[in-house]
Amino acid sequence: MAKLQIREALRRAMVEEMQRDERIFLMGEEVAHYKGAYKVSQGMLEEFGPTRVVDTPISEGGFAGLGVGAAMVGMRPIIEFMTWNFSLVAYDQVINSAAKIYQMSGGQFSVPVVFRGPNGAAENLAAQHSTAVDSLYAHFPGLKVVTYADAHDAYGLLKAAIRDDNPVVFLESEMTYGVKGEVPDEEFIIPLGQANVRRTGSDVTLVTWGKQALNCMGVVDQLVSQGVDVEFIDLRSLRPLDHKTLFTSVAKTGRCVVVHEGHLFAGVGAEIAARIQEACFDYLEAPVLRVTNRDVPQPYATNLEKLVNPSPDRILAAINRVLGRA
């Protein structure tokens, strides 16, 4: 059992898959000679050479489109966006091409491409580099949208994404690349669409994904120490969504709080709350509450960042409210 940084777990997953299948290549800004903006691809150029670890110009629309075309003719590209904020200039390629070509071609073309890179807020990167794009991509059928909270899941989910024959949006985080966790030495794959129940409980269901799972862990420990039996679900996959795990939990606890980055209006949390209300209405003892970013562009100043992003205090307050303890 190795203890790896998340960046090392992601690198190990890519290296193993590229060793297994010569059709896989990595392409993006600074992935080769600079070893990745966040050193995720360190050492990969030396192992695989410049035809399989490819530096690109600053042209997301160009290299995202190249990746889609390469996938259509039998390659299996991994396209790295330096940040998902930059993917917005390639939105047409991801949405109108990658997500739709299989259906539009009547199944003649699959698009086995992974788009990956850091998502959401980091520290002091301000509005144009801090967007959480979860809802922007989860909205469209044809894409799978996946994220992780720890090194174990980063490794297992990325390997599954690379092997998938559909386009996969793989959301990472600058703030957690250096977080260490245990990853088994033997190879394993985590199926896409399978949530992780990090703690079972009977009083309230806490639902989150990505780095917000790390933000929630301390809150869960605090509530458990107060005698609150929290069921803690890390979704890991937004498309496909693990409805069975989600609905089974809420039917048991009768209460739910959803925590995620991104804005309250039309966020993924709104979709989850609506589906819970439709499927579990008779079991609910309180409204489903959401804790999200404040509905403003991300500020630069550290003190304002802390006010805008989900915080342990806000998560705790929402859980106490659904428990009638506010």
What sign has the CA pseudo-torsion 305, 31, 19, 163?
positive
Residue-level pLDDT, tens digit, the chain, 326 residues: 899 999 999 999 999 999 999 999 999 999 999 999 999 999 999 999 999 999 999 999 999 999 999 999 999 999 999 999 999 999 999 999 999 999 999 999 999 999 999 999 999 999 999 999 999 999 999 999 999 999 999 999 999 999 999 999 999 999 999 999 999 999 999 999 999 999 999 999 999 999 999 999 999 999 999 999 999 999 999 999 999 999 999 999 999 999 999 999 999 999 999 999 999 999 999 999 999 999 999 999 999 999 999 999 999 999 999 999 97
Q: What superfamily in CATH does domain 2-183 come from? A: Thiamin diphosphate (ThDP)-binding fold, Pyr/PP domains (3.40.50.970)
Hey, where are the domains in the chain? 2-183, 196-322
Q: Residue 266 in 3-state DSSP?
A: coil
Position 326 scores a pLDDT of 72
Which one is catalytic: 129, 152, 260, 263? Answer: 129
**Do the domains at 2-183 and 196-322 have one common CATH topology?**
yes
Which one is catalytic: 8, 60, 174, 305? Answer: 60
Distance of CA 200 to the CA centre of its chain: 22
Domain range 196-322, its CATH number among 1.10.357.10, 1.10.530.10, 3.40.1440.10, 3.40.50.920: 3.40.50.920
Verify whether residue 243 is a known catalytic residue.
no
Separation between Cα atoms, residue 20 and residue 43, nearest integer Å: 17
Amino acid at 66: L
Token readout for 53 is: 């670890």
Sheet holding 168-172, edge to edge: 53-55, 24-28, 76-80, 114-118, 168-172, 144-147, 237-239
Q: Residue 291 in 3-state DSSP?
A: strand
Position 317 scores a pLDDT of 97
Position 283 scores a pLDDT of 98
Position 1 scores a pLDDT of 87
Verify whether residue 174 is a known catalytic residue.
no
User: In 180-201, which positions are buried (b, 16+ CB within 10 angstroms) versus exposed (e)?
Assistant: ebebeeeeeebebbbbbebeeb
Is 0.95 topped by the overall pTM? yes
